Amino acid sequence: MAEMRDYSGAFRADFKPQNLTQDAIIRMWMAASVMYLAMDKIWFGQVAERFGENIAFEMSLQVWSKASVAERKRSVEALNIRGMMWPLA
């Protein structure tokens, strides 16, 4: 399959992200990054509205302290980054 600038057109059963151009992968990564942050903001807002800002803040700290370890490890391993300044376990 030739490099794809986007995923317009018909469904492609043999599609792999590797088929995308570098520019398309960067655009996809940026969109996913913004969505990731937006979902956290929406989640925090909903919890704050229902239970109050203090509870939302406490829950946010708990969620990010647990998730950040796994997320950092996944990112560091994906890019083979060495010599990190924080623990990954």
Over residues 7-31, the pLDDT tens digits come to: 998 999 999 999 999 999 999 999 9
From start to end of the chain, where are the E strands?
none
- Residue pair 5/21 in contact (Cβ under 8 Å)? The answer is yes
pLDDT > 70: what percent of the chain? 92
- Residue pair 56/44 in contact (Cβ under 8 Å)? The answer is yes
Is the pTM here over 0.85, yes or no? no
Name the DSSP letter for residue 4: B
Q: How confident is the model at residue 71 (pLDDT cuts 50, 70, 90)?
A: confident
- Compare 57 and 74 and report the one with higher pLDDT: 57
Over residues 25-56, the pLDDT tens digits come to: 999 999 999 998 999 999 999 999 999 999 99
